[in-house]
Chain A
Amino acid sequence: MSNYKIAWRNLWRNKRRTLITVASVFFAIFFALIMRSLQLGTYDHMFRNAIESYTGYLQIQHEDFWDNKIVDNTFSYTPELDQAIMSLENVTGTVPRFESFALASSGALTKGVLVMGVDPEKESLLSDIRGKLVKYKLNDNNIEALKNSEIPQETKKNLEIFRGNSYSSNSSLAIDFNIPDKDSSSILEIFRKYASFRNGYIKSGEPGVLIGDKLALYLKAGIGDTIVLLGQGYHGTTAAGKYRINGIVKLPAPDLDNKIVYLPYDVCQELYDAPGMLTSLAISIRENGDKKINSMIPEIRSKLDPQLKVMGWQEMNKLMINQMDADSKSGMIMIFILYLVIAFGVFGTVLMMTAERRREFGVLVAIGMQKSKLATVVTLEMILMGILGIASGIIAALPVIFYGYSHPIRFHGEMAKMYEDYGMEAIMPFLLPDMYILWQAIVVAIIVLIALVYPLRKITKMQVVDSLKA
């Protein structure tokens, strides 16, 4: 009879108690993992959005630009600079940008906008603008047409909910409309037929722009319309230009979607009267771990003129990082409380178990079982119980996490508006299993081990004669 086997049987001598204890560990692990995965997934998503559509992992800027984003704080973009950066290891490309503010008007409507001068081709290294061009649009006409089409009833029902929405990808459309994979090609074909949106793109040297979907809505402007940009140029000149809207983009971050105007950076330089100048040069890299980035910063810095500086994504997104940190702490407190509750449950079980078996422990040691062996059996019982709870919790959480990763929770209606008001995309994605799983398991394992201290002390200090009297 091995220790393990005895421990296993002891575990089931009070089935209900063991099951309740295991279940409490199970639920704690399950909910902690789901909560953590959602929380970390949301952060990850936000950082990725910020990095991939806006800041990039690394940027070169004029040293004053970050604090004072005016056109005067630009630097000159020379082939030498480009070569120096490109020659560095881990660099896959440079992405020039000229970024400023302007007033945009179309017809009688005017709005402050963010003007992004980009290299139409190189920009794809960083933010995939082409991929964000609107593919489908659910305007009133298109919805009418779709309602009379052969799409399934279920999909039709959703049309009202998403009236006015634009989609830049098949997958986001499929998720909103709950289109199962097997039907997606046929249903998407119908959407393509009745709700396609034809977009153009921008080209170096040509005065065309792409504008955000929400901005287009606000300005009541569409493809082929003209917008006028008015701003302040280099050294106080007046910047003004007239551009054709070539395309509409749908950016995931609503506050950007509401104010973005993309145009070729050379056209932008012309607008602001700053030929050859850039506000930033983003650097796209192959390996993007924090350690690698931190080691690259001084390396790049050594290649630059003194009035230029290098910024990593953490520095550029400091505000967001601080917010996430605070949010993450509050999440951890929730989980801590959850664990505190189950800790008491586990302690209670252990206390009862030890009291109930006092005499049995006495008999075992009297007939010749070493205390160390008895302690091993009791330890095994607790470990088995912990493992049952932890493993079942993880196993139950994994499918949910994997599902939630591929089908992020998407809010609609009021909830979605709330998110968008905060400038966030109204989705909650999960983070795939990572160190956080290990952490939850370790914390619960520690609780179980702490609970073990009590019976182990009782066993070590046990006087056989007293225990036999019990």
Chain B
Amino acid sequence: MKVLELKNVNKIYDGSEVHVHAVNNVTLEFQEAEFAAIVGPSGSGKTTLLNLIGGLDMPTSGKIIIDGSDLSGLKSSQLIDFRMRNIGFVFQAYNLIPVLTAKENVEFIMNLQKWSRKERDERTFELLKAVGLGDRMNSRPSKLSGGQQQRVAVARALASRPKFVLADEPTANLDSKSATTLLEIMEKLNHEEKITFIFSTHDARVVKMAHRVITLEDGSVVSDDIRE
């Protein structure tokens, strides 16, 4: 099943001093339960592309269709709502709300979606256990390592069963062991939950674990390999 479709998407930064074609005529499709990496040199447009897909930024032209609906038709508050229901996010760092515990961070979106307490507790416990932090539920982010924080962020991104999860360089701030652990957890959850992951990375070992690798250069897709 198709969860996401990009049709001739362009993003041009046209300021008084700069004119950058950050995303150049990108057309892509993602199916349910994909585990896809976006790679490319620095400045090739990975972050820009992920921001467009996540509805954090608007394309200059082209269409982004998620689960059948076109993002460009939404008002900003509707867009926020849409993100809450359909998209999970993992950022490079400082993902978590510092005053909330691991459990409360994971629950956050379920709370926004008004899940019942019982559902929330079950889902949170299940996810934190899955990311290996079942015993750190009540720790605040400042008491967790960088790798642990990213795992909580992955749990949070998955909490309300979004259509897909976007992760812009989730391992960039991690040592290689933590990076591999995080990727293994992401892969496992991708498999168990049947939720699509799209992540950008510079890390060759991370790229190796992806099932699909999309390569960008100067904003254009130069290759799109699906591996088994």
Contacts and interface: CB of A to CB of B under 8 A. Distances in A.
**Most chain A CB neighbours (cut-off 10 Å) among B80, B89, B104, B109:** B80
Contacts of B112: 368-369, 373
A1 B101 CA distance: 11
Interface residues of B, number: 27
A327 B100 CA distance: 52
Given A366-B83, A368-B112, A360 B77 contact: no
Interface string A364-389: 11111111110000000000000000
A367 B56 CA distance: 10
Interface in B117-151: none
Contacts of A360: 94, 97-98
Interface stretch (A5-13, A83-91, A232-240): A5-13
B104 A465 contact: no
Contact of A6 (B77, B88, B91, B100): B100
A366 B89 contact: yes
A111 interface: no
Contacts of A12: 99
A367 B98 contact: no
Contact of B84 (A1, A10, A367, A468): A367
A469 to B, nearest CB: 9
Interface in B32-60: 51, 54, 56-57
A6 B99 contact: yes
Contacts, number: 63
A228 interface: no
Contacts of B99: 6, 9-10, 12-13
A464 interface: yes
A359 interface: yes
A13 B109 contact: no
B50 to A, nearest CB: 10
A363 interface: yes
Contacts of A367: 83-84, 88-89, 108-109, 156-157
A468 B97 CA distance: 14
Interface string A1-26: 10000100110110000000000000
B81 A366 contact: no
Contact of A366 (B54, B85, B98, B100): B54
Contacts of A9: 99-100
Interface in B95-111: 95, 97-100, 104, 107-109, 111
A368 B85 contact: yes
A465 B166 CA distance: 14
Interface SS majority for chain A: helix
B188 to A, nearest CB: 22
Majority secondary structure, B binding face:
helix
Contacts of A464: 56-57
B95 to A, nearest CB: 6
Given A13-B98, A368-B80, A363 B91 contact: yes
Q: With a 10 A CB-CB cut-off, give which of B56, B156, B157 has the most chain A CB atoms.
A: B56
Contact of A1 (B51, B88, B100, B157): B100
A397 B173 CA distance: 52
A13 B111 CA distance: 22
Contacts of B88: 367
A369 B100 CA distance: 15
A363 B100 contact: no
Given A367-B83, A464-B56, A468-B91, A1 B107 contact: yes
A310 B112 CA distance: 70
A352 B150 CA distance: 27
B77 A371 contact: yes
A291 to B, nearest CB: 51
Contact of B94 (A1, A359, A371): A359
A369 B94 contact: no
Nearest to A10: B99
Contacts of A359: 94
B85 to A, nearest CB: 7
A368 B84 contact: yes
Contacts of A366: 54, 56, 83, 89, 91
A363 B95 contact: yes
Q: Which of B56, B99, B107: most chain A CB closer than 10 A?
A: B99
A408 B86 CA distance: 68
Contacts of A465: 51, 56-57
Contacts of A1: 100, 104, 107-108, 111
Interface in A1-55: 1, 6, 9-10, 12-13
B101 to A, nearest CB: 10
A364 B51 CA distance: 15
Contacts of A369: 80, 84, 108, 112
Contacts of B98: 13, 360
A6 B91 CA distance: 22
B80 A365 contact: yes
B98 to A, nearest CB: 6
Given A1-B100, A1-B111, A9-B99, A363 B80 contact: no
Contact of A368 (B57, B83, B97, B104): B83
Nearest to A2: B111
Contacts of B91: 363, 366, 468
Contacts of B94: 359-360, 363
Interface of A: 1, 6, 9-10, 12-13, 359-360, 363-373, 464-465, 468
14 contacts: A1-B104, A1-B108, A1-B111, A6-B99, A9-B99, A12-B99, A13-B99, A360-B98, A366-B54, A367-B109, A368-B84, A371-B77, A465-B51, A468-B56
Given A366-B89, A367-B88, A468-B91, 11 more contacts: A6-B99, A360-B97, A364-B97, A366-B56, A367-B89, A367-B109, A367-B156, A367-B157, A368-B112, A369-B80, A465-B57
Considering the complex of A and B, which 9 residue pairs feature the smallest CB-CB distances, nearest first?
A368-B84, A9-B99, A464-B56, A465-B57, A368-B83, A465-B56, A367-B89, A13-B99, A1-B104
